[in-house]
Amino acid sequence: MNLAHYLGLLHRAQVNLADAFRQVADAHAEEPDIEHLCQQQAKRCDAHAEQLHPFVVRYSEDAPDEPDRLHSQLFTGTRTGGIGLLRDLQDLYLMAAECDITWTVVGQAAYGARDKELLAVVRSCEGETAIQLKWLRTRMKAAAPQALVVAD
């Protein structure tokens, strides 16, 4: 069963997203809402990873070797300034989008595996990931005109 690989992918994506949220929070501490909400969302990602961990362990017992090019690198550090903030939020958005689609895929697999416990985790977490995407979109929409059209 290859589900273990997707669980591992999702687990690592959540850990990476938590880390990226924290880096963006630190880099843009002068934007108080960004700092506060990125820290808050980092904790949510931590909780997601924690809830996934037992399933990663359980399914890895009978998993074949990990396929090539499973993981992708979406974040290479923060930037500065108004447009830098926009780009950093865009990185977070793409990372959250990867988590979002991976929850969907893992959720489908949970159905196939008749794994009600895993399905419950997916149901409670995927909604929070969707809110992350929504918040990032909201914040970027508000920031974009000033950063791209107005600022020097």
Partner 1 sequence: MVDRIADPWGERTPYGPGQQWPVRVDRYLADGRGDADVDRWVQSASVLHSNGDALDIGVADGRIVGVRGRAVDRINRGRVDPKDLYGWQANHSPDRLTRPLVRDGGRLVEADWDTAMGRIVARSKELLDGPGGWGHFGFYTSGQLFLEEYYTLGVIGKAGLGTPHMDGNTRLCTATAAASMKASFGTDGQPGSYTDVDHCDAIALWGHNVAETQTVLWMRMLDRRRGPNPPAMLAVDPRATPVAREADLHLAVRNGTNVALMNGLLREIIRRGWYDNDYVDAHTLGFEELCRIVDGYPPQRVADICGVPAADVERAAELVGTSQRLLSTVLQGFYQSNQATAAACAVNNLHLVRGMIGRPGAGIYQMNGQPTAQNNRETGADGDLPGLRNWDNERHVEELARLWNVDVDTIPHWAPPTHAMQIFRYAEQGSIKLLWISATNPAVSLPELHRIRQILTRPELFVVVQDLFLTETAELADVVLPAATWGEKTGTFTSVDRTVHISDKAVEPPGEARPDLDIFLDYARRMDFRNRDGQPLIDWSGPEEVFEAWKECSRGRPCDYTAITYEKLRGGSGIQWPCTDEHPDGTERLYTDGHFHTDPDYCETYGHDLATGAEFTEAEYRAKEPDGRAFLHTVEYQPSPEVPDDEHPLLLTTGRTVYQFHTRTKTGRAPQLNQAAPDVWVELNPADAARFGIAEGDLVGVSSTRGAIQARARLCGIRPGVVFLPFHYGYFDQDPADRTPRAANELTITAWDPVSKQPLFKVAAVAVTKLADGRGVPSPAPTVGGSAPPADADVPPTIGGPAAEATSGKE
**Footprint on this chain of partner 1 (rule: CB under 8 A):** 30-33, 36-37, 40-41, 82, 131-132, 134-135, 137-138, 141-142, 145-146, 149-152
- Smallest distance, partner 1 to C-beta of residue 34, A: 10
Q: CA-based angle 142:19:81, to the nearest 5?
A: 40
**Residue 148 carries which DSSP code?**
I
Q: What single string gives the DSSP state of each residue in 81-142?
A: HHHHHHHHHHHHHHHHHHHHHHHHHHHHHHHHTT-HHHHHHHHHHHHHHHHHHHHHHHHHHH
Which residue's CB is nearer to partner 1, number 70 or number 151? 151
Please check whether residue 80 is in contact with residue 27, taking contact to mean a CB–CB distance below 8 angstroms.
Answer: yes
Which residue's CB is nearer to partner 1, number 74 or number 143? 143
Token readout for 4 is 């273990």
- Smallest distance, partner 1 to C-beta of residue 62, A: 36
- Smallest distance, partner 1 to C-beta of residue 43, A: 9
Please check whether residue 7 is in contact with residue 63, taking contact to mean a CB–CB distance below 8 angstroms.
Answer: no
Which residue's CB is nearer to partner 1, number 15 or number 147? 147
- Smallest distance, partner 1 to C-beta of residue 117, A: 19
